[in-house]
Amino acid sequence: MKAKEKIQALQALMKKEGVDGYLIPSSDPHMSEYLPDHYTARSWFSGFNGSAGTLAVTSEKAALWADGRYFIQAEHQLEGSGIVLMKMGEPGVPTVEKWLADELPEEGSMGIDGVITSTSFAEELKKAFDDKKISLKNMDLISPVWTEDRPAAPATKAWILDAAYAGKTPSEKLADVRESLKKEGANAYLATRLESSAWLLNLRADDILFTPFALCFTLVLPDSATIFINKERVPMDAQSYLEKEGFAFAPYEDAAAAIRAIHTPVTFIIEKTSLSYALYQAMEENPCITVKEGKEPVVYLKGVKSEAEIKNLKLAHIKDGVAMVRFAIDLEGRMARKETVTECDVDAMMRHYRLEQEHSLGESFETIAAYGPNAAMMHYHPTPENCAVLKPEGFLLVDCGGHYLEGTTDITRTYALGEPTDEEKDYFTLVLRSHIDMAKLVFKEKMPGIALDLAAREPFWERGLDYRCGTGHGVGFVGTVHEGPQSLNGRSQVPFIPGMTVTDEPGIYETDKIGIRIENELLCKEAMETEYGKFCCFEPITYCPIDKKAIDPKKLSPAELSWLNEYHATVYETLAPQLTDNEKAWLKNACSPLA
């Protein structure tokens, strides 16, 4: 079926079930950013396959909300579907809940699947619907429509990440969680986010493409801890290890029932954005449970990397830097020999050089290999059917990353494939200035991301320009490539403290024209302490040269130029011992100082 036919089938079922609207978010029972194929219903119904978006359907209309990263992609993919694109954040564009409140009739009803809808979103809908007395009904209308070709829920083999890499054992982390709960006036916690269970248990699997997680919940009570997972997928040695570490096992499907069965008074700490409405209702129905909103403890514990994790992360980035250097040398050679190279070839080349690294666990996300105007789409992905051929002109943007036992990486480099024009150099140097200004920032400890984000945007704003995304995000440890709580964007109130890592990735995206991004991962560390307090700075832990051909050094300040030369010196010093003589010679030239 085409998207229009799928929407019509859903509308027919809505009529049969007596609801006037239905919501399909981009989520699973764990409110994941990247989803197992089984839960990609929004993509299946709409045809838009970006990683974020919300589809709302009424008896006569359908609309999809996407953010600025996906405007171009969504316009293309929704064409002919009858689904209206709602560009989030643009003037005059209503929120999902406001649009539904306007479209649904008085005393109408709205269907949601509470298993995959967050509590916060459900409550926003309730609030918006209050004036018109629109009711919210919990029902799964996805499964009856998406039948024959729907992938099964994943159940890949789980494994334990050794504490030598993870930094602490599960029992040590469990003690940290209980101490954190105590400080918040609570004694119970349900780890619903997959990254939270992965961190707490040191448990990994391959349930989600590019993300090494196992679908599970972890329930922490004052005197017990239970993992809700299909036990047969956990090898006996891993089961024994976790049981010795203080964790029992129960079937994945029993999490809600276990919450309802708690018979002694406990206080749960919850974040409504990460807790499904179905599980929240189970807590609300149990008189022994007190629910307290607060900070999800694991998110904040894992957001600050331990000394062991930092040491390992740097090793992972060295391996990643070697892969990037070998890719760049290979690409340069193929272009010099005038071979035919496509975006898909770039994807395959990058994968090859990562996988040959010791302890490689594969890619951390789908590589974005975007040539020319394609790079203006921030999350563009080439396919064999739609794959540009590289030419000796313009820019190639490569956004990629890898998982290693030592950690997870995320890097973007933009390569000039020919002699850049003055305009191309101007754009590239602007992005580089923005990147450097963030990287060399010194700031008071506990400054929030919303304040730091300004440093990267100032070079853009002084020219009346901007980019429709955050400047950076946290990165997990053998986990999700987008990790909270810290981030660099115009909304984040989370304070930065030493041990946090974040990407630094400003960019310029001119539709149908050009796309440029430069991305390193930064480690927040102590800079100094004076009578005015503690100050922090950033250390780049990504080791890869930035293409000097596209830089106009006259447009860099002395401080920016000094930072770039010092960074390149560090890159050469760090990577050279891992390279062959020919590779060292290439890298030495790529990292030579600019005057």
Q: How far apart are CA 361 and CA 405, in angstroms?
A: 7
Residue 61 structure tokens: 């209309």
DSSP letter (8 states) at residue 500: B
Task: List Cα–Cα distances, 113 to 143, 283, 463, 500, in angstroms.
Answer: 10, 17, 46, 35
Residue 361 structure tokens: 């666990």
Check residue 206 and give its pLDDT: 96
Taking the CA of residue 585 as centre, how many other CA atoms within 13 Å lie in the half-sphere pointing to its CB? 3
User: pLDDT tens digits for 76-102?
Assistant: 999 999 999 999 999 999 999 999 999
Give bridge partners of residue 22 from the DSSP assignment: 57, 111
- Placement of tokens 């918006």 in the chain: 128
Q: How far apart are CA 255 and CA 31, in angstroms?
A: 15
Contact criterion met (CB below 8 Å) for 487 and 449: yes
User: pLDDT tens digits for 394-434?
Assistant: 999 999 999 999 999 999 999 999 999 999 999 999 999 99
Q: How far apart are CA 55 and CA 69, in angstroms?
A: 17
The residue type at 164: A
Residues in the chain predicted with pLDDT less than 70, given as ranges, are: none
Instruction: Specify burial of residue 127 (Cβ count, 10 A radius: 0-12, 13-18, 19+).
Output: exposed
C-alpha triplet 279, 283, 288: angle, nearest 5°: 160
- Chain centroid, CA 373 distance in Å: 24
Give bridge partners of residue 371 from the DSSP assignment: 396
Query: Would you call 491 helix, strand, or coil by DSSP?
Result: coil
Contact criterion met (CB below 8 Å) for 196 and 229: no
32: Cβ–Cβ under 8 A, 6 or more apart, which residues?
39, 193, 194, 208, 211, 213, 480
Nearest to 196 by CA among 313, 305, 297, 51: 297
Torsion sign (Cα): 453, 458, 459, 460: positive
Check residue 490 and give its pLDDT: 85
Contact criterion met (CB below 8 Å) for 31 and 192: yes
Q: How far apart are CA 198 and CA 196, in angstroms?
A: 5
Nearest to 549 by CA among 347, 413, 445: 413
